[in-house]
Protein backbone atom coordinates (compact mmCIF):
# COMPACT_ATOMS: atom_id res chain seq x y z
CA UNK A 1 0.00 0.00 0.00
CA UNK A 2 2.77 2.48 0.78
CA UNK A 3 4.53 1.57 -2.48
CA UNK A 4 2.09 3.50 -4.66
CA UNK A 5 2.15 6.43 -2.23
CA UNK A 6 5.90 6.72 -2.61
CA UNK A 7 5.54 6.82 -6.37
CA UNK A 8 2.89 9.54 -6.11
CA UNK A 9 5.17 11.61 -3.87
CA UNK A 10 8.11 11.14 -6.26
CA UNK A 11 5.99 12.20 -9.23
CA UNK A 12 4.71 15.27 -7.37
CA UNK A 13 8.24 16.27 -6.38
CA UNK A 14 9.43 15.87 -9.96
CA UNK A 15 6.58 18.06 -11.17
CA UNK A 16 7.45 20.73 -8.58
CA UNK A 17 11.13 20.72 -9.52
CA UNK A 18 10.19 20.83 -13.19
CA UNK A 19 7.94 23.85 -12.63
CA UNK A 20 10.64 25.69 -10.67
CA UNK A 21 13.22 24.88 -13.34
CA UNK A 22 10.89 26.10 -16.07
CA UNK A 23 10.36 29.40 -14.24
CA UNK A 24 14.11 29.96 -13.91
CA UNK A 25 14.64 29.08 -17.57
CA UNK A 26 11.95 31.49 -18.75
CA UNK A 27 13.37 34.29 -16.56
CA UNK A 28 16.86 33.96 -17.98
CA UNK A 29 15.56 33.56 -21.53
CA UNK A 30 13.62 36.82 -21.21
CA UNK A 31 16.60 38.55 -19.65
CA UNK A 32 18.89 37.38 -22.45
CA UNK A 33 16.43 38.36 -25.17
CA UNK A 34 15.81 41.87 -23.84
CA UNK A 35 19.33 42.40 -22.58
CA UNK A 36 18.15 43.87 -19.28
CA UNK A 37 17.03 41.48 -16.53
CA UNK A 38 15.19 44.32 -14.84
CA UNK A 39 12.66 44.49 -17.69
CA UNK A 40 10.85 41.47 -16.31
CA UNK A 41 10.97 42.63 -12.68
CA UNK A 42 7.82 43.83 -11.00
CA UNK A 43 9.53 46.03 -8.42
CA UNK A 44 13.01 47.07 -7.49
CA UNK A 45 14.30 47.88 -10.95
CA UNK A 46 11.58 50.49 -11.50
CA UNK A 47 12.64 52.16 -8.28
CA UNK A 48 16.26 52.17 -9.46
CA UNK A 49 15.27 53.75 -12.76
CA UNK A 50 13.29 56.45 -10.96
CA UNK A 51 16.26 57.18 -8.70
CA UNK A 52 18.58 57.39 -11.71
CA UNK A 53 16.20 59.84 -13.43
CA UNK A 54 15.98 61.93 -10.28
CA UNK A 55 19.78 62.01 -9.92
CA UNK A 56 20.17 63.03 -13.56
CA UNK A 57 17.59 65.78 -13.13
CA UNK A 58 19.42 67.07 -10.06
CA UNK A 59 22.74 67.03 -11.90
CA UNK A 60 21.41 69.02 -14.85
CA UNK A 61 19.62 71.55 -12.66
CA UNK A 62 22.71 71.95 -10.47
CA UNK A 63 24.87 72.58 -13.54
CA UNK A 64 22.43 75.21 -14.84
CA UNK A 65 22.40 77.09 -11.53
CA UNK A 66 26.20 77.16 -11.44
CA UNK A 67 26.31 78.60 -14.94
CA UNK A 68 23.72 81.27 -14.11
CA UNK A 69 25.35 82.51 -10.95
CA UNK A 70 28.90 82.44 -12.28
CA UNK A 71 28.26 83.77 -15.78
Q: Would you state the pLDDT for residue 70?
A: 63
| Whether residue 4 is found in the same domain as residue 26 | yes
| Whether residue 1 is found in the same domain as residue 32 | yes
Structurally, the chain folds into a number of domains equal to 2
| Whether residue 10 is found in the same domain as residue 35 | yes
To the question of pTM greater than 0.85 for the whole model, the response is no
Domain coverage including residue 15: 1-40
Residues 1-60 pLDDT 10s = 578 899 999 999 999 999 999 998 988 887 677 666 565 566 667 767 777 788 888 877
| Whether residue 56 is found in the same domain as residue 35 | no
41: closest CA among 53, 31, 50, 51?
A: 31
Residue 65: pLDDT band with limits 50, 70, 90: low
Q: Would you state the pLDDT for residue 26?
A: 86
Q: Would you state the pLDDT for residue 59?
A: 78
| Whether residue 1 is found in the same domain as residue 35 | yes
| Whether residue 8 is found in the same domain as residue 31 | yes
- SS3 call for 36: coil
Amino acid sequence: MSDWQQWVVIILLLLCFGRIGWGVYVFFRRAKKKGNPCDSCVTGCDLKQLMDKKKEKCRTSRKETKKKCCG
